[in-house]
Structure 1
Amino acid sequence: MREHLDCAVLATPSNENYVAGLPGSHAGGRLLIHLLKVEAGAEEGRALASTAMNLRRYDVCLLQVHPANLSWVRTNLQAARPLLTTPVIAITRDLRAAALDDLHKLGVEDFLREPFCAEELRARCERLLARQQAKVYIKHIESDPGGSALSVGEAHVTYQEVGAEHGQHPTLGANNMPVSVLESYAAAAAGESSGTSLRAAKTQIVEHFETAYIKAALHRHQGNIAMAARSVQKHRRAFWALMHKYKIDPMPYRAMGRNLPMPCGTGKMPANFSEG
């Protein structure tokens, strides 16, 4: 759990009087709220977009929404979607369910009703950041640009960067694995409103792990299935069965291997190899 969270509450012409009382330290110093004014001269419909860069220094953006400024919020969220990376929590008043659903579709991650409770806001921020971190984790595992896989060392650095992105320093387990990343994923799965079961969450994380592990082994041995299976102490048939299960094609890794010098005594010679 983070020692403290930094939230920015956006001050607009329609809510300056209300948000003026929010900045400060809350929840025993564990929640810090900062006032962030819309940049002067910003277009009416792009005020949030013009502030997107400044919002990156904060964990969460708080946005007050009520019937009087609902149209302004909708327009600005639509314009800011390609630029806004900071998660948004709306502090709402007198909004109908249809309006809340619309805001969610426009990118609002969570909602609080006025008057907000600092402890509740802190808890919602923690849950939101855990979900964001889990999404980044899954994205890194699933990404395989150009048909290649990350090596084990590269993947480890990536996981470290995921934790650092939220100001965290992952605690390494006995196998040098970043514990906080898996904890964040577990917290996100358990906190889903749909109630993801333990079995389903565990199955998903095992599938992602096995996929990344097999791809890394194939990458290391340039697509040689026998050598990759031997290196991970797996029978060749069982290794091939996992490749078939996850639809992993060894050909891209073999193509990469043709462009690399082959160590003496390892693997087979390429079919087009000729002496002399």
Structure 2
Amino acid sequence: MRERLDCALLALGQDDWVAALGGGHLGGRLQLHVPPWSGHSAEAMLDDPALARGRYDAGLLYADESSLPAWRTALASRAGRLPAVLLVYAVGLRAQAIRDLIALGATDFVRPPFCPEELRARLEHALHRLAPVGVAEPAPVYGTLVPGLPMAVGPLATPTEADLCATILDRSGCELEAYAVALAMQRATSRDSFRAAKSQIVARFERAYIRAALGRHGGNVTLAARMAQKHRRAFWALMRKHEIDPTPYRGDAEETSSAA
């Protein structure tokens, strides 16, 4: 259990709420911060470097009916680039709206009235789920052949995105980790920042996974999203982000069915 948790307050036009909650709670074990946001849009708050660098343990996002569309748009456009823990302070929101925010990347939610004990408990639970756990797979040896990959995994030789896309759903965590490390080693030698390199690697994985999922389910977005354990709306948001059209995959499925 952490002695102190630091949480950033994210709110659109709720200066009174931010001012009332900012500061220490529970004898200093919970610190709610009012960051000097470089802008007052939902996008600017989620893009703040302090959140990306882990300056805070989590973010507490104030969402009501008036701010819900802005948060939905901002979360959907930043899939894969959100703070690890993002709790929603749901003010008057229906259950479906809360589910949508969670499907788009939020971790959990709390409802008013504000209760510091509940907030800290939910933060601890979310952070505990992120803690690394042991795996049964052996650690990969980078720069050597990984079973099943079409070529060596290392800084000079990695499988193409097409190769990975075709088999990604059958890969083990060990193989995917090796591939990610190989790409990271390549990007580390470039002029890209850590954030830019990470975004490129995550984007390549997202594209490969979505295409493979659509291919396996004949372009059926509902089934592909269910397999990915993502809300259908969030899966569609990722497809729009990467400009992936499910139509060609439906065509492949129809041709296969006709041939049979």
Return the TM-score normalized by structure 1.
0.47
Q: Which has the larger radius of gyration?
A: 1
TM-score (norm 2): 0.50
